[in-house]
Structure 1
Amino acid sequence: MKILFIVMRFGKDGLATNILDLTKGMVEKGHEVHILTSGYKIKSSNNTEFFDNLKSEFQHLGVHMHYFKEPKGNAIKKGIQTILSFSKVMLQVKKINADVIHCHSPNMTFVPWLLGKKCVSTVHADTITPNFRYKHPTLLIAVSEGSKEFTERVMHSPEESIRMVYHGIDERFAEVEDAATLVALKEKEHIPTDKIIIGVVGRITPMKGQDVLANAIGKYLSPELKEKIHIVLLGDYESNGSKEWFDTFLKDNRLQNQITILSFRDPKPYYQLFDVFVLPSRSDTFGLVAVEAMMGGCCVIRSNSNGAYDQITDGENGFIFPMDDEAALAKLLEKVLTNEDLRSKLGVAARKTALEKFTKTQMINNTLEVYKELL
């Protein structure tokens, strides 16, 4: 089967991780994968290791990469570039002549629509709104119950076109790192060895809610408990404004000396450094990093953004708190930070859930079933 993924651009996010895993699975099953994209969202301040590895992976897999120029500039320049770029996109899609077109960027669904071709699209964000470029795909993949509800309510997607396929992750996240490796990693990144580590993974922006965690710790935890913790944040600032925004919360809560911020890279070994993983997001379609942490055997606390109730049975394999509720998060943190046995019990149950429900193999097989419906 010849499969075409249409992606507006790749960023340092769960979308890139998901597409890479999907690509690996399809190639391993003998399918030919093409990717049509404007490229990679690289900022001048970015560590490019993530994108370099992504490009290398695609090359190693034998993926056919096709590029177009993303329209930029003033209205006139952008208008001209739009005509040229999307004329090229249309020609490329016709030339590739894929058996399956999978749009990972909803605003690119107009391309197969204009060509009269069937397509699949996945809802990767719950911040999009319908516009003239969005056309209902033949089949739409929702990745959580919340994203399904969003597509019906906001995107007005016909219920009969929606298929549920949970995001899945590579089972390598369940592989246990040896103690010496973790000690060496802590030393390398100057992470204290005598503190309880609270981990966060994701780009630093108000949407991801890192301020909620900072306030929960600074305003509600006792000084004695606060002294016992250290935060490790794996992610890049969305913008210079994001850095100023987050620095304010760190300063207000006197956490500047209790946090290590690292540019985003493969998070796999870090999940096993974390004693507690927190996902305080204000917006998500699934929360892929929570499942990665679960498979890594981490004690997970997350907000009730989309994906939470698909992943976690509250109190059994993790905890869920109401979005933006700093006091509720603090109460859960106190519960797990003061009870190592509870952290361990929740981590074991979380790994079991992730391996039963959220593997890459399951995602690949379920996605292929959707593709077969399209043919």
Structure 2
Amino acid sequence: MKILFIIMRFGKDGLATNIAELADGLVNKGHEVHIITGGFKEQKDQDNTFFSSLRQRFANLGIKMHYFKEPQGGIFAKGYHSLKSLVQIIFRITKIKPEIIHCHSPNLTFIPWLLGKKFTSTVHADTIRPNARYKHPTLLIAVSEGSKNFTETVMHTPPESIRMVYHGIPERFSEPETQENLKRLKREHQIPEDKIIIGLVGRITQQKGTDVLVKAIGQYMPKELIHKIFVVIVGDYQTPKHELWLEGLLEEHKLTGKLKVLGFQDPKPFYQLFDVFVLPSRSDTFGLVAVEAMMGGCCTIRSNGNGASDQIEHGVNGMIFPMEDSASLGKQLTEVLTNDDLRKSMALKGREKALACFTLEKMTSNTLKVYQELKSL
């Protein structure tokens, strides 16, 4: 099939990762993939290696990229550029002649709708709200029970048009790292050898709940345990102000020097370096990094946002705490860090769940079923 993805822009986030993985799976099954996009959210003052690697990955897969200029400027300039970009996108679609249109940005769903095309769209965020640019897709892909409920209650999606497809990740996350490599990572990043490592992967921002984790450790864990731990965050500050915000939090909770920010990079080896992985997000549609950690064999604790109940049976293959509840998170961290058998058991069962339910192969196959259904309508 000739498949077209439409996305506003690529950022350093789970959306970009999911699109890259899905494109990889589709190409490896013999399908032709095109992407229409406004480009990449590169910033001059940040490391943009992620974006250069993403471009190279798309190039290696033979994916054809088609760019439009994202509207900017004042109200009149923005209106003019919006119209110009719309014409450009429509021209690209008519030239590509895709068999499947998969819109990954909700505010661009009006474009295939304008053209009278059947299309599908994936719910990648639970922060969108109904607006003039959002149009219901022919078939909508929900990635968790929570995102399904969100589309029905908030976006008013007809329930009969919703299809469930869990996010999936490559099985490389289950491949063991050598002890030599893990020791090298600790040396390179100055991570203490004699500490229990609590890990987090994601942007440093209120939405991702960085403060929830800091408060859980600083206020709700025993002091004798706090002395034994070290926190590692694999991710970038959302803005320069968030660096000052985190520094203030650490100072407030007397945790200065007990946390290190490594910057955004391939998190795969770090999941096996962490003793416990935490996802404290205030907003998620699935929480892809939790599944990566589970597949990596890391004991996982996450907030009860969308995707939590799909991924974790509390106390069996991980733990779930109420969103923003630092006291509950502190209690759960204390429990797993003082009970080696419990931590190892949940890590093992979490890995089994991830390999059974959340692989790239499953995501690709189930997405193709939606595409086939779409073609038949």
Could you state the TM-score of these two structures normalised by the residue count of structure 2?
0.98
Deviation at 1:354, TM superposition (A): 0.1
Aligned to 1:142: 142
Residue 92 of structure 2 corresponds to residue 92 of structure 1 = yes
CA distance in 1, matches of 2:247, 2:154: 34
Equivalent residue number for residue 55 of structure 1:
55
What are the Cα deviations for residues 310-369 of structure 1, in whole angstroms up to 9, with x where unaligned? 000000000000001111000001001111222111110000000000000000000000
Aligned to 1:314: 314
Query: Deviation string for 1:138-180 (max 9, x for gaps)?
Result: 0000000000000001100000000000000000000000100
Structure 1 letter corresponding to 2:326: E
CA distance in 1: counterparts of 2:9 and 2:167, whole angstroms: 19
In 2, Cα distance between equivalents of 1:251 and 1:207: 20
Report the equivalent of 2:295.
Answer: 295
Amino acid at match of 2:226: K
How many angstroms apart in 1 are the aligned matches of 2:238 and 2:153? 28
The offset of 1:83, in angstroms, is: 1.0
1:351-362 equivalences under 5 Å are: 351-362=351-362
Could you report, residue by residue, the CA deviation over 1:247-271 in whole angstroms, capped at 9, with x for unpaired residues? 2211111222011101111100000
Structure 1 position 75, deviation (Å): 1.1
Q: What are the residue-to-residue correspondences of 1:98-247 with 2, within 5 Å?
A: 98-247=98-247
Matched residues in 2 for 1:128 and 1:36: separation? Answer: 21
Aligned residue type for 1:94: T
Report what 1:35 is aligned to. Answer: 35
Letter of the structure 1 residue corresponding to residue 57 of structure 2:
E
CA deviations 1:253-296 (Å, max 9, x no partner) are 12220111011111000000000000000000000000000000
**For the residues of structure 2 that align with 1:336 and 1:47, how far apart are their CA atoms?**
35
Paired AA for residue 108 in structure 1 = L
The AA in structure 2 aligned to 1:46 is: Q
Cα distance in 2 for partners of 1:256, 1:202 equals 20
Identity of matched residues, % = 61
Structure 2 partner of 1:77: 77
Tell me the amino acid that sits aligned with residue 242 of structure 2.
S
Corresponding residue of 1:262: 262
Counterpart of 2:15 in structure 1 is 15
Inter-partner Cα distance in structure 2 for 1:160 and 1:314: 30
| Correspondence 1:357-368 to 2 at 5 A | 357-368=357-368
Gaps of 5+ in 2: none
Aligned equivalents of 1:256, 1:3: Cα separation in 2 = 49
Aligned-pair CA distance for 1:241: 2.5
The residue number in structure 2 matching 1:340 is: 340
| 1:256 alignment partner, SS class | coil
Q: CA deviation at 1:127?
A: 0.3
- Measure, in 2, the Cα distance between the counterparts of 1:154 and 1:122: 15
Unaligned 5+ residue runs, structure 1? none
| TM-fit CA distance, 1:246 | 2.0
Give the Cα separation in 2 of the matches to 1:335 and 1:73: 52
SS of residue in 2 equivalent to 1:208 = coil
Q: 1:250 maps to which residue?
A: 250
**What amino acid is aligned across from residue 318 of structure 1 in structure 2?**
G
CA distance in 1 between counterparts of 2:253 and 2:90 reads 52
Secondary structure in 1 aligned to 2:130?
A: coil
Which has the higher mean CA deviation after the structures are superposed, 163-172 or 231-240?
231-240
The alpha carbon displacement at 1:242 in A equals 2.0
Q: Secondary structure at the match of 1:347?
A: helix
Q: How much has 1:245 moved relative to structure 2?
A: 2.1
Letter in 2 for 1:59: A
* CA distance in 2: counterparts of 1:255 and 1:8, whole angstroms: 39
Say how many residue pairs are matched.
375
What is the SS of the residue equivalent to 1:146?
helix
Distance of 2:170 and 2:160 partners within structure 1: 30
Q: Which amino acid aligns with 1:280?
A: P
Instruction: Please list the CA deviations of residues 207-249 of structure 1 after superposition, one character each: whole Å capped at 9, or x if unmatched.
Output: 1001000001001112211010000001111112222222221
- Describe the superposition over 1:107-146 as per-residue Cα deviations: whole angstroms up to 9, x where unpaired: 1111100011000000000000111100000000000000
Larger mean CA deviation between 67-76 and 277-286 belongs to 67-76
